[in-house]
Structure formats: structure tokens, C-alpha cells
Amino acid sequence: MASQGENKWVYSFGAGKTEGRADMKNLLGGKGANLAEMANLGLPVPPGFTITTEVCTYFYANGKSYPPELKDQVAAALAAIEEAMGARFGDPANPLLVSVRSGARASMPGMMDTVLNLGLNDITAQGLAKRSGDSRFAFDSYRRFIQMYSNVVLDVDHHHFEDILENVKRDRNLTLDTELSADDWQTVIKGYKKVVEDELGRPFPQDPEEQLWGAIGAVFGSWMNARANTYRRLHDIPASWGTAVNVQSMVFGNMGDDCATGVAFTRNPSTGENAFYGEYLVNAQGEDVVAGIRTPQHLTIAGKQANHSDLPAMEEVMPEVFHQLDAVRLKLERHYRDMQDIEFTVQQGTLFMLQTRTGKRTAPAALRIAVDMATEGLIDRTEAVKRIDPASLDQLLHPTLDPKAERTVIAKGLPASPGAASGKVIFTADEAEAQAALGEAVILCRVETSPEDIHGMHAAQGILTTRGGMTSHAAVVARGMGRACVSGAGELRIDHKAKTIMVRNVTVKEGDLITIDGSTGEVMLGAVPTIQPELSGDFATLMGWADGLRRMKVRTNAETPLDARTARKFGAEGIGLCRTEHMFFDPARILAVREMILAEDEAGRRRALAKLEPFQKQDFVELFTIMAGLPVTIRLLDPPLHEFLPKTEEEMREVAEAAGTDLQRVEHRSLQLHETNPMLGHRGCRLGITFPEIYEMQARAIFSAAAEVAKGGNPVTPEIMIPLIATRKELDILKDVVDRAAKEVSAATGQELDYLVGTMIELPRAALRAGEIAETAEFFSFGTNDLTQTAFGISRDDSASFLPDYQRQGILEHDPFATLDADGVGELMKLGAERGRAVRPGLKLGICGEHGGDPASITICEAVGLDYVSCSPYRVPIARLAAAQAALASDTVKRD
């Protein structure tokens, strides 16, 4: 192999020695590193070698050429396989055949190219026939090779080959591939070779060496194909990583009935159940299982029974090999300490392992596996908490079908990816994407999906296929994306031309509504009502572990009783932001609000405010009662007055009548209040400065409510928050207003009142002057929506028209209104926190902008040292888990 000082581009495995390890994924790709690891574990891996990802990088940096040392290193590694297998590449009597496969750092299933049976030509095919004693197998393998190689390497369209095969079958009156004889395959091969010659003007390459380098080049080339590029974009995989190429001795699952090939998961990837889970086919090659052409059989008897299959399980057909495979399963799980996705082949009763990798799983399965593995002692609880992607919890919070709802089930397929989804029937990925862009919910309906469909699958709410098993492309990809999926609903007939789905006497047309339930496999007509999930079991267990690890508290942004209750159910530890203006928009109150805004003097305003005060008080009584002693931060009125102005003449008339004035005066006052830049205008604390009676009324309502609830035996400590403070003076003035209201209510009710007055930090000036502001403020809450808006000078309301260009051109990696801009806005938060706490040690700090529910932003909040994050109710569980992971990452884990 590589001599001293020479670059090493090739790593052997299984051929006498193994040079790679599982932790060399960056260099060898996931497949190559794990093949080496399995060989190191003593598992039966066919010998082979991996050409490193660095060769891919070199290939693209050097005009698609190879490093000069590569040829010799490949030749030496190939010789090692020949030696291990006792066969020679191109040998007429005893030919070595290899597979050539891609293998990037991150798994990209089906996105890049693969060539199997490489090394066959007119002569070696005869040799293989003689040596195996099975000429049918040999010629079937040769025709597969010509078809795959021509398609992948020579770019000949596969429909040519399909036509030839169909013609031969028709001539012979046969329906199944397995019915073709050796002679039939010879006829097919002749046809295939002629197609290649006609299409390319040169014969199919006979030289194995030429075949090998052609395949290696095609695999490297496929790193940049359109579907790989799309997949990388969707999964944030950098193009600079490159792929490795794995060249491995072929083993055959298609040499007879004592042969098989299959794919399996060491636990159920849909439910997480600790049961061996997989599919296999007797007398078949790898691609047959995932292609969905033949219906795969279950590995275990339990799997077969659970899926009501009549086909025998591997456990019954090949008990010995099955038990060997089951032992491999346990060994791999113990070694990797995670659920594995494996591929295997049985050649004449001997088991070979072709792949292992961490298995993709649904969110419920991820939870169950993490909790079970921690309980089994394979991992600890900290590791279990780290393994769950907080964003994936979203899938668990999604609705399921209401069991009481009427439903018309038209078919049952496989429960391939859980969750219920309703939408319009759409037949192509492009149309699904186009409809989704118009805001339509769609169900992508296909006979089977292929990697070309991923953009449509991503855009769809759910995916329905009529062919393919639980490990079919549709099933695997849907689970990874968190889309509901029913696969293999074979009763349905999809007619692409007529754009219909037919089943018995029912015809569903394109655009009709259907519902699929990915947890049961049912397909239903119309949109079936759904209900919210129960959050118990593994979810509750894991969330409990996460809660034990996090330092930051998680509160919610809520102003309605419904939101407050939902948030408590999801584990919110208080309200971090109650936006009081939402209470003002209520139809029963809006008239009084308009009357207040349009009043021409303080007396008029006070009259209108007096109408609002009882409503406000009642709002707070309800919130305090629901939150039962948990902290509640109430923000005084914030939005531009402009937003409340009456718009139609009728609305103006109503206000005029209620205020006892005339239409003209109302119109005139509306014009006066009109603003050019309302977001930077008369809003936030500026309202309190010009109309202190508004804040006074709100403070009085809060304190009266607190006094009432406290009398009932539930003391509350309201946290009153002043928005959009830029200067300390503003806060001083408004705190006085609040303090006076507290004294007034205390005197009137005889109730001692505990409360805090704090501010939002949502303007850069406030962050910079946080020191002096903290002399008055008893807490800070970072309003990162406005802070982002004002730090960038980008309007929250108008950014959608140009931000996508900023992301496309790489100016901004993320939408800064969704994920905190760590360098700018994060820096302002850091300054604000440091300066505030320098003046008032222990100053309570929180965040209530949208970022409070975004996992990446929560990591920044941990680093800034916030006491809590606050987010919308449905993101509370995500924030709880993300806060625990952030604490683990920065080693600020809560230790009781």
C-alpha cells in the first residue's frame, strides 16, 4: 500500500487487514468507516476498500482528475481482495466481481450512484456460469450489470432496457423475471448490448479495469447530481464534504433458494419497540428489496403476524442464519449503543454484512429508543436527552385522527410514518410543490416514490404509495422528514393519465380531499377531524430527565386562558409575556378602545378607560388563577395606536356615537393619529409617556386582580413590564405611575401587594444603557423581535420580500427573525445582561421574542446566562429539551 511520505487515498477492509475505524467517517464516509468497524468486530464483511472523500475533493478541485498515486493504491487494494477471495478480477474461469458504491459522511439514501456485479463481460459471465454451476444466475447477473452500468456510467436511459425485457417476456408468455431461463437472459443480454452500441456508437466495455474506473468516476460524479444537491440543501450537508467510494467483493443473494438479501433495523424504526424489524427476499439482489418490485417478506414471525402477511418469515425459512443475524444485531447495538439500520446478504446459507449505520426513526421511536436504552443501561439519561432533536418533538405535538369522527376508509396500506394528514390528492412531485407554495395542503400520491420526488414529498403534508414496503423509499424518506406516510396500499389503482385513484366503485380525482393515517395505514375520503396528542409515557419520562438537567426555566407567551392552559399542559413554568393589546382587540372592547384613542382630552380618555378597566381586571383574574402562583409577566400596552384606528366609515360612526361626538371630528382625529412608520412611532412606553392614564388603568386592573386572587388564598407576584424603553428616564416616570396604582389598590383593598416592575430590552440603546436602566428595572426581558428589527434596521413586517435573497447569497445564514443573530443581536444581549447585572446583581433576565422557542437561539440564551426563555405554548416542550441540551453543551447543568 502507500509507502512512507506518500498520500494515502485508499483504505482496505476485511482483506486480511482493516485500516479504517468507525471514527474515521470524515475520511471514509459513513459506509466505509462502518464496514471497517464491522470487520474489526469480527463480523462477516466481504473484503473491499474505500477510496477516501479527499479523493472526491481532489477530483473536483483538479478538473475531475485523480491524484497520481491513486491508480497504484487501488491496484494494490484490489490485489488484496483477490487474495482474500481466491478469485481474480477479469479471470475467465474464476472472476472476482465487485460492487462500487458511494458513501458520504452523512447518509444520503438513494441520492448517489451504485454499480453491482462489476467485472462481468462476455467471457467472465461464462466463467461465472461454469463455476457457480448456475448459468441462469450468471446471465441474470450480467444483464443486471449491463443495465445498471449503462444507466449510471454511460447515461443510457433505462426505459430502453425495460422495453427489451418486456418484449422477451411477452414473446415467451412469461410474467415474472424469475421465470426466465439462462437462454432467455442471453437473448436479453444481446438486446441490451445492441441498445448500448446504438445509443453510444461503441460497444459495451468489456475490460473490467475500464469498467472499474468508469464506475468510480460515476460515483464521484454523482456527488454533484441534481438530486444529491437538493438532498444536501434540505439536510444542511456542505458540498465540500465529498463522498467516498467503496469497492467491495460481491456476494450473491440471487444464486438460488438458499440465498437471500435484506434490510433490517435493530429496533422498530416506526414505534421504537425493542424488536428485530426488517424485510428480506429469497433469491434476490439488494436493489430488489427497496425497489418495491417484489413484496418483501418479514424477518421475524412476530413481524409477519403483526402485518397479517401470508409470506413465510426468515425466522421460519432459514432459522440458523436468522439466529446468526439476530446475534449480529445484538452485537452491533451493544457496540454502537444506538439503533442500527443494516443490510445483509445470504449466499448459499452463509451470512454477509454489507452495511450498518445509525437508523433513521420517527420522533416517537426516537423517544422510546432513548428511554429504553437508558433503562437497559446501554446509555445514560444525559445521553438519552442529548439524542432527541428538539425540533422533532413538533411531530409528537401534531394532531391524530379523532377516534369519534366519521370516516370512510377506502383502502389500507402499511403504517409507514405516523401522524394523520389531510389534503388534496396530487400525483406529481412538481405539482405538490406548486400547490404547497399556494398554501394548499396536499397528499402526494404515487405508485412508488424515487429520489427525484423528494422536493414534492417535502412540500406535501402526507405521502401515499400503492407499492413498496416499510423500508421502501417513500417510507424511509417520509419518516426522516416527519411526514405522514401510508405505503403499499395495493388495492388502490393510480391512473396517472386520467389523474385518478380507483378502488372498487370509488374514483378519487386530482384535487379531491383525502386523509391518510400513517399510524394505521388507513386511507380515507375527505378531511377527517383530528385531536391533540396525549403527552405521557416516554415523552413525559424524557422531558422529566431534561427538566432535571436544565438551568433555564421555560415560560410561555400567552394572553388567553386557552393558551395559558395549553402551555401549562406542555410544562410552562410561568408566563413570560402577556401582550395586553390582544385583550384590547376583543370585539366586545374594541369600541371602547377606539373611543379612548380618539378622545381629544384626558377626561375623554378616562371615560373610555373606565369602561375597559373591569374587562382588564377579569382577564388578569383568570390568568392568575390558571397560573396558580407561577410567575406572570404582564406587558403594558405596546402596539402603535394606528393599529386600533377605525378604518371604515361605519366604524367611525360607531365611535362617534359612543363618544357622543360627530363623524367629522373622529375623521379628523384619525388623520392626526396616522403615522408613516408606525413601528418606530407612537408605540410602546411612548404611549404611557403621553397618555399615562392608560398605563395607570392597566396597572390598577392588574393589582385589583392580584388582590382578589390573593384574597382567595393564592398570592401572586405580578411582574409588570414596560415595553420599548430607550432611556432610564422613561422607565422612572412609568414606574412611578405603576407604584402609585399599587398604593391606591393596596389602600382600597387593605391587601399587601408584592410586584416587580421591569422592562423589555428591545432597542439597541436600551442594551447599551442597561446599566443605568437596571437601577430602576427589577427585571429585563429581551424582546428580540424588536431588537433584531432595530439592530439590523430591517422591518419585521416587510423583510419577507428580500430576506430569501440574503440567505441565497449567503449574507445571512438564517432568517434572523427565526434564529438569533449570534454575532450582532446576541452581542447586544450579552452587553445588556452584563451591564444590567453589574449594577443589580442577580437581575432576573429572560427572553420573550420568537427566538425563545428556537433551539439554536436557546443555546445563545444559555451562553448569555438568561434565567428563562419564553415561547408560544406549542414550543414549550421544544424549549424545555433545547434548554437541557444547551446546559449540557455549556456544562451549566443544574446539579441539585
Cβ of residue 640: shortest distance to ligand PEP, in angstroms? 10
Does the footprint of ligand PEP cover residue 466 (CB under 6 A)? no
CB 262 within 8 A of CB 299: yes
When the beta carbons of 47 and 849 are compared against ligand PEP, the nearer one is 849
Cβ of residue 391: shortest distance to ligand PEP, in angstroms? 21
Residue bearing cell 443501561: 377
Among the listed ranges 240-248, 533-541, 607-615, 755-763, the one in contact with Mg ion (CB under 5 A) is 755-763
Please identify which residue in 184, 719, 786, 854 interacts with ligand PEP, judged by CB under 6 A. Answer: 786
User: In sequence order, what are the residues at sequence separation of 6 or more whose Cβ sits closer than 8 angstroms to the Cβ of residue 186?
Assistant: 139
| CA dist., res. 870 & res. 851, Å (int) | 9
When the beta carbons of 470 and 577 are compared against ligand PEP, the nearer one is 577
| CA dist., res. 598 & res. 652, Å (int) | 10
CB 244 within 8 A of CB 28: yes
State the binding partner of 579 from Mg ion, ligand PEP, none, CB within 5 to 8 A by kind.
ligand PEP
Does the footprint of Mg ion cover residue 786 (CB under 5 A)? yes
Please identify which residue in 256, 286, 849, 877 interacts with ligand PEP, judged by CB under 6 A. Answer: 849
Please identify which residue in 428, 618, 785, 892 interacts with ligand PEP, judged by CB under 6 A. Answer: 785
Cβ of residue 639: shortest distance to ligand PEP, in angstroms? 7
When the beta carbons of 134 and 719 are compared against ligand PEP, the nearer one is 719
Q: Write phi, then psi, for 757 (nearest 5 degrees).
A: -120, 125
Cβ of residue 778: shortest distance to ligand PEP, in angstroms? 19
Of residues 628 through 647, those in contact with ligand PEP by CB under 6 A are 638
CB 482 within 8 A of CB 388: no
Among the listed ranges 337-345, 589-597, 619-627, 782-790, the one in contact with ligand PEP (CB under 6 A) is 782-790
Please identify which residue in 577, 773, 861, 866 interacts with ligand PEP, judged by CB under 6 A. Answer: 577
Half-sphere exposure of 399 (CA within 13 A, CB side): 13
CB 658 within 8 A of CB 745: no
Cβ of residue 726: shortest distance to ligand PEP, in angstroms? 13
Query: Using alpha carbons only, how large is the chain's radius of gyration in Å?
Result: 33
Q: What is the DSSP letter of 388?
A: S
Cell of 65: 482528475
Among the listed ranges 70-78, 79-87, 335-343, 780-788, the one in contact with ligand PEP (CB under 6 A) is 780-788
| CA dist., res. 184 & res. 194, Å (int) | 16
When the beta carbons of 164 and 577 are compared against ligand PEP, the nearer one is 577
DSSP string for 408-458: -EEEE-EEEE-SEEEEEEE-SHHHHHHHHHTT--EEEEESS--GGGHHHHH
For residue 19, the SS3 value is: coil
| CA dist., res. 9 & res. 535, Å (int) | 50
CB 173 within 8 A of CB 130: no
When the beta carbons of 459 and 777 are compared against ligand PEP, the nearer one is 777
CB 869 within 8 A of CB 853: yes
DSSP string for 43-70: -----EEEE-HHHHHHHHHTTT---TTH
Cβ of residue 635: shortest distance to ligand PEP, in angstroms? 7
595-634 footprint of ligand PEP as x/- string (CB under 6 A):
----------------------------------------
Cβ of residue 577: shortest distance to ligand PEP, in angstroms? 6
**Catalytic residue at 335?**
no
**Catalytic residue at 473?**
yes
| CA dist., res. 830 & res. 835, Å (int) | 8
Amino acid identity, position 797: D
Does the footprint of Mg ion cover residue 581 (CB under 5 A)? no
| CA dist., res. 494 & res. 514, Å (int) | 14
| CA dist., res. 559 & res. 585, Å (int) | 12
Q: Which residues pair with 847 in a beta bridge?
A: 782, 869
Cβ of residue 369: shortest distance to Mg ion, in angstroms? 41
Cell of 267: 429496533
- From the list 485, 848, 861, 871, the catalytic residue is 848
Please identify which residue in 783, 836, 846, 873 interacts with ligand PEP, judged by CB under 6 A. Answer: 783
Among the listed ranges 124-132, 422-430, 714-722, 775-783, the one in contact with Mg ion (CB under 5 A) is 775-783
Q: How far is CA 265 from CA 271, 328, 624, in A?
A: 12, 12, 49
When the beta carbons of 462 and 723 are compared against ligand PEP, the nearer one is 723
Does the footprint of ligand PEP cover residue 579 (CB under 6 A)? yes
Cell of 455: 422536493
Does the footprint of ligand PEP cover residue 892 (CB under 6 A)? no
When the beta carbons of 522 and 762 are compared against ligand PEP, the nearer one is 762
Among the listed ranges 90-98, 304-312, 429-437, 783-791, the one in contact with ligand PEP (CB under 6 A) is 783-791
Does the footprint of ligand PEP cover residue 784 (CB under 6 A)? yes
When the beta carbons of 563 and 786 are compared against Mg ion, the nearer one is 786
How far does CA 428 lie from the centroid of its chain?
22
Q: How many residues bind Mg ion (CB under 5 A)?
A: 3
When the beta carbons of 99 and 580 are compared against Mg ion, the nearer one is 580
Region of 476 (left: φ > 0; alpha: ψ -120 to 50; beta: rest) is: alpha
**CA end-to-end span of the chain, whole Å?**
56
Does the footprint of Mg ion cover residue 783 (CB under 5 A)? yes
Please identify which residue in 341, 693, 696, 762 interacts with Mg ion, judged by CB under 5 A. Answer: 762
| CA dist., res. 350 & res. 364, Å (int) | 35
Cβ of residue 817: shortest distance to ligand PEP, in angstroms? 9
Helix (H) or strand (E) holding 392: none
When the beta carbons of 269 and 783 are compared against Mg ion, the nearer one is 783
Cβ of residue 783: shortest distance to ligand PEP, in angstroms? 3
Of residues 184 through 243, those in contact with ligand PEP by CB under 6 A are none
When the beta carbons of 113 and 786 are compared against Mg ion, the nearer one is 786
Cβ of residue 637: shortest distance to ligand PEP, in angstroms? 11
Please identify which residue in 41, 351, 825, 848 interacts with ligand PEP, judged by CB under 6 A. Answer: 848
Q: Which residues are catalytic?
A: 473, 848
Q: Which residues of the chain form contacts with ligand PEP (CB under 6 A)?
A: 577, 579, 638, 762, 783-786, 848-849
Q: Which residues of the chain form contacts with Mg ion (CB under 5 A)?
A: 762, 783, 786
